[in-house]
Chains A and B, each alone.
Chain A
């Protein structure tokens, strides 16, 4: 199964795990499986409209899924999915 790496601040919502195996043929399905196993993660990753929160970027191995097929991106069992917050600032 594809593996989803959990950033430290979210591990408390994932039963303390630093990585979760999540079944699915696409990124969207894997994230669905992840939040089904750990419902408390849902509001941290998705907004009220069910879309990924604005700062949540998802990487398939080393690639941003926005430049692939977004949540429809196909995944293989050997893949690693990462959750990377986009961060910037200015005066």
Chain B
């Protein structure tokens, strides 16, 4: 399961609203113990997709390197990635699954008419053939 601290959660929701109607993306920094990931900080990231961002996001690898460094410096780890679905439910699409990786939790925030609606977290399996939902608390 994944638990997101309120200040981190607020940053994620604000980033999703600010990017609407485009998809936002970012990293979740925290700790993992006994199968529970706790997110202590959220780091908005640039959507590097060079095209219509209403239904697509791409992380910038250079920024990923920088975020990984920041996390290490704070004694935290990147435990997950978040992105938004503007005017669409918070499901994990086929393209989300195929372009994910089995190492992280993936939180999807649904934003409807510019306001946060609901969210889900997904855990892609080893071969990225499916991504079951994991319990999410925020």
Chain A contacts to B: CB under 8 angstroms: 5, 7-10, 18, 55, 57, 59, 62, 64, 82, 84-91
Cβ B100 vs Cβ A62 within 8 A: no
Cβ B61 vs Cβ A88 within 8 A: no
Cβ B101 vs Cβ A89 within 8 A: no
Interface centre among A7, A84, A91 (most CB of B within 10 A): A91
Residues of B in contact (CB 8 Å), total 29
Considering the chains assembled together, what is the distance between the CA atoms of A84 and B60 in angstroms?
10
Considering the chains assembled together, what is the distance between the CA atoms of A82 and B67 in angstroms?
12
Q: Find chain A residues with CB under 8 A from B65 CB.
A: 59, 62, 82, 84
Cβ B103 vs Cβ A89 within 8 A: no
Given contacts A89-B56, A91-B95, contact A8 B49 (CB under 8 A): no
Is B16 engaged at the interface, CB distance under 8 Å to the other chain?
Answer: no
Considering the chains assembled together, what is the distance between the CA atoms of A62 and B68 in angstroms?
12
Q: Could you say which of A7, A55, A57 contacts B68, with CB atoms under 8 Å apart? A: A7
Cβ A8 vs Cβ B77 within 8 A: yes
Considering the chains assembled together, what is the distance between the CA atoms of A24 and B58 in angstroms?
32
Cβ B101 vs Cβ A82 within 8 A: no
